[in-house]
Amino acid sequence: MRMKILLMGNPNVGKSVIFSRLTGVRVISSNYPGTTVGFTRGYMKVCNEPAEVIDVPGAYTLEPTCDAEKVAADMLKDGDVVINVVDATNLERNLYLTLQLLGTGIPLVVALNLWDDTKHRGITIDVEKLETILGVPVIPTSALTGQGIRDLVKSIPKASSPHNSSMTLGERWTRVGKIIEQVQRITHRHHRWYERLEDASVKPKSGTVIAVAVLAASFFVIRFIGENLITYVFDPLFNTLWTPVLMKLSAIMGGSGFLHDVVVGKIISGEINFVESFGLLSSGLYVPFAMVLPYIVSFYFVLGLLEDVGYLPRLAVLLDTTMHRLGLHGYAIVPTMLGFGCNVPAILATRVLESRRERFIAATLVCIAIPCASAQAMIFGLVGKYGGEYVALVYAILFLVWIILGTILNRLLKGMSPELLLEIPPYRFPPWQTIFQKLGMRIRGFLIEAVPIILAAVLVINILFVIGVFDYIANAAAPVVTGVLGLPKESVTAIVIGFLRKDAALGMLALSTLTAKQMVIGSVVLTMFFPCIATFVVLLRELGIKDFLKSAAIMIMSALITGGLLNIIL
């Protein structure tokens, strides 16, 4: 039977990096049954035998205080060996969980991680004495450099389970204090420049300046990478390789007809326009792969970098007060930032929030006020031709909606937002291998979860479009679109299609003759209106039918009210 090794420890002690070192790139992400708490598992060899390695959710105690700690305690029952990853720079705090694990009787190895950082902080630990006191192997490691990883693997067969009598909470902390007195010595040292930067990152004034600079640089890098991937990789692939295939298929299918328009799409001026053809094999493939995927790649790359460097937790702390006014806590910045890449993973990321109320508010705000990467590309391309000030106006309006709507939801929805209890790691530059491994996992997740839904939605849209259902809906909605929003009748179809294909809807707006004012209104309304079908389906799955209907009603009302007010004001 395959050995099951559990990686356990406090949050932000480097478990995930050690996991990457042990398992390589072939890993599987899952949710623990019956919960929204995720974990990752992979495989390695121990004494030339295959073993399963599980990166258990971070926990401070085996006496659960949240869902993640409950899952960690439950998973412990199935483990054969536990590798307890300990932050060597915060030994006293980490040893509480270590003593609890010793009392379970499961063979244990302690990985004394961040070992290279102890000397910079003036910390000296007597590893041999600590090993003697605990009665289990203690291996100094630095996951970032790989130091000690080989020794850690060799120590797994030597894992031991000394018998420890049960202790009360007070007795356990007393025991931790005595261990620290025997094995650790701290000497004074001056702060390094990046430690001063760590402190400045969470102070209101300096932290705000740093946050603005980091976010501005992030969006520049995201757009630079995304646009270059589209221009120099994906567009050439579709135009030079895929277009000839579709044209041959079109000729075989007769160049027109119901089946042709659904599968290949409409031939416009003798060519296939991947944005406007609406075919399953044209727009259906082009939208997720050539319009969305490049921005997903660039966004997840930047997000992973901010996470692993240690900046994202500081941003969460800095924004915690603001987020509380919206009924959230600071870590809601994670799904919010993800939404600028793609709303689908953003909705999935709301699982990190503790209460159902928080998840509802965060998911609704993401769907309404956060334009995804493909929508942003269209906004910059279509609104930008009227001038950069109009692009800025669109984002300013959406930000204002995000603040106002969040404040209203916070006041109307019963419940409270728990305080932010977040461990802030030191600034450290992660290995590129770890960054790209995480990037690969997230891209696979997007492709598996979102692309099939998008393709199915495109197929349904095409059929409805060809048989004239959208024309009927457009005629019924025309009075609202032209009267309340002040948009021309030709834009009705784009607004309706925005329910299913936001990027295509924005592209269709460009086909109408619009003023700068109308383009701003159209872009804002399309962003706030129902999200794309992929996000729509994921939202239903995550919130349940009751909360989903509430969220949908809020989207319709807020889009119409905002669009109507803009029509009056502008």
Mean of all residue pLDDT scores within the chain = 82
| Residue 309 predicted with pLDDT over 80 | yes
Q: Kindly state the average pLDDT of the residues 346-373.
A: 84
| Domains of the chain and CATH, by start | 3-186 (3.40.50.300), 204-569 (no CATH)
Percent of the chain with pLDDT over 70: 87
| Residue 500 predicted with pLDDT over 70 | no
Q: Kindly state the average pLDDT of the residues 184-200.
A: 76
- Tell me the C-alpha distance between 5 and 156, whole Å: 9
By three-state DSSP, how is residue 41 classified?
Answer: strand
- Tell me the C-alpha distance between 494 and 476, whole Å: 14
Q: Kindly state the average pLDDT of the residues 375-394.
A: 80
- Tell me the C-alpha distance between 323 and 417, whole Å: 9
Question: What pLDDT was estimated at residue 416?
Answer: 62
Q: Kindly state the average pLDDT of the residues 150-174.
A: 84
- Identify the residue with better confidence: 490 or 433: 433
Question: What pLDDT was estimated at residue 275?
Answer: 61
Model confidence at 364, in pLDDT bands (50, 70, 90)? very high
463-482 confidence digits (pLDDT tens): 777 777 767 776 777 788 77
Question: What pLDDT was estimated at residue 393?
Answer: 92
515-565 confidence digits (pLDDT tens): 888 888 888 888 888 777 667 777 887 888 999 999 989 998 998 899 899
Range in 212-216, 230-234, 404-408, 458-462 with the lowest mean pLDDT: 458-462
Model confidence at 97, in pLDDT bands (50, 70, 90)? very high
- Tell me the C-alpha distance between 144 and 17, whole Å: 7
Q: Are 295 and 341 in contact (CB under 8 A)?
A: yes
Q: Are 466 and 258 in contact (CB under 8 A)?
A: yes
Tell me the range of 80-89, 117-126, 317-326 where mean pLDDT is highest.
Answer: 80-89
| Residue 499 predicted with pLDDT over 90 | no
Q: Which of 456, 481, 444 is nearest to 559 (CA)?
A: 481
pTM of the model: 0.62
Q: Which of 129, 88, 84 is nearest to 107 (CA)?
A: 84
Question: What pLDDT was estimated at residue 81?
Answer: 94
Range in 174-188, 258-272, 432-446, 463-477 with the lowest mean pLDDT: 463-477
Question: What pLDDT was estimated at residue 450?
Answer: 65
329-339 confidence digits (pLDDT tens): 677 877 887 78
Question: What pLDDT was estimated at residue 550?
Answer: 93
- Rounded to the nearest 10 degrees, the angle between the axes of helix 388-412 and helix 533-569 is 110
Question: What pLDDT was estimated at residue 163?
Answer: 64
Question: What pLDDT was estimated at residue 4?
Answer: 92
Q: Are 409 and 327 in contact (CB under 8 A)?
A: yes
- Tell me the C-alpha distance between 340 and 371, whole Å: 6
The number of C-alpha atoms within 13 Å of 167 and in the hemisphere containing its C-beta is 19
238-286 confidence digits (pLDDT tens): 989 998 898 888 888 887 888 888 888 777 777 777 766 677 888 778 8
DSSP string, 71-85: HHHHHGGG-SEEEEE
For 195-204, the CB contacts below 8 A with 24+ separation are 195/426, 195/427, 197/427, 198/310, 198/314, 198/424, 198/426, 198/427, 201/311, 201/314, 201/318, 202/314, 202/317, 202/318, 202/424, 204/318
| Residue 236 predicted with pLDDT over 80 | yes
Question: What pLDDT was estimated at residue 419?
Answer: 53
Model confidence at 232, in pLDDT bands (50, 70, 90)? very high
Tokens of 68: 């993640």
- Tell me the C-alpha distance between 521 and 486, whole Å: 8
**φ, ψ dihedrals at 41, nearest 5°:** -135, 150
**DSSP H/E element including 112:** strand 108-113
